[in-house]
Amino acid sequence: MALRRLQRLAVAPLSFTGGATTQVLREMSTLPRVYVTRQIPPEGLRILRDSRQVQFELWDSDDVPVPRKELLQNVKGVDGLLCVLTEKIDAELLDAAGPNLKVLSTMSVGFDHLSLEELKKRGIRVGYTPEVLTDAVAELTVALLLATSRRLIEATHEAKTGGWGTWRTLWLCGYELANSTVGILGLGRIGVAIAERLAPFKVKKFIYTDVAPRPELAKAINAEYVSLDELAKQSDFLSVCCALTPETNEICNKDLFAKMKNTSIFINTSRGGVVNQEDLYEALSTGQIAGAGLDVTVPEPLPTSHPLFTLKNCVILPHIASASYSTRNAMSALAVNNLLLGLRGQPMIKELKL
CB-based contact 263:179 (threshold 8 Å): no
- As a whole number of Å, the end-to-end CA separation of the chain is 39
Kindly state the smallest distance separating residue 316's Cβ from ligand O=CC(=O)O, in Å.
15
Kindly state the smallest distance separating residue 205's Cβ from ligand O=CC(=O)O, in Å.
28
Beta strands of 137-246 (E only): which ranges?
Answer: 181-185, 205-209, 223-225, 237-240
For the purposes of burial, counting CB atoms within 10 Å of the CB of 209, is it exposed (0-12), middle (13-18) or buried (19 or more)?
A: buried
CB-based contact 98:77 (threshold 8 Å): yes
Choice between 128 and 257, CB closer to ligand O=CC(=O)O: 128
For the purposes of burial, counting CB atoms within 10 Å of the CB of 263, is it exposed (0-12), middle (13-18) or buried (19 or more)?
A: middle
306 catalytic per annotation = no
Q: Which stretch binds ligand O=CC(=O)O (CB under 6 A): 36-44, 63-71, 105-113, 254-262?
A: 105-113
134 binds ligand O=CC(=O)O (CB under 6 A): no
65 binds ligand O=CC(=O)O (CB under 6 A): no
Kindly state the smallest distance separating residue 269's Cβ from ligand O=CC(=O)O, in Å.
8
Choice between 177 and 274, CB closer to ligand O=CC(=O)O: 274
Beta strands of 235-345 (E only): which ranges?
Answer: 237-240, 265-268, 291-294, 314-316
248 binds ligand O=CC(=O)O (CB under 6 A): no
Q: Which stretch binds ligand O=CC(=O)O (CB under 6 A): 53-61, 103-111, 184-192, 250-258?
A: 103-111
126 binds ligand O=CC(=O)O (CB under 6 A): no
Tally: H helices and E strands in the chain: 13, 13
Kindly state the smallest distance separating residue 166's Cβ from ligand O=CC(=O)O, in Å.
43
Per DSSP, what are the bridge partners of residue 224? 207
Residue of minimal Cβ distance to ligand O=CC(=O)O: 110
Would you call 294 helix, strand, or coil by DSSP?
strand
Residues that bind ligand O=CC(=O)O in the complex, under the rule CB under 6 A: 85, 108-110, 133, 322
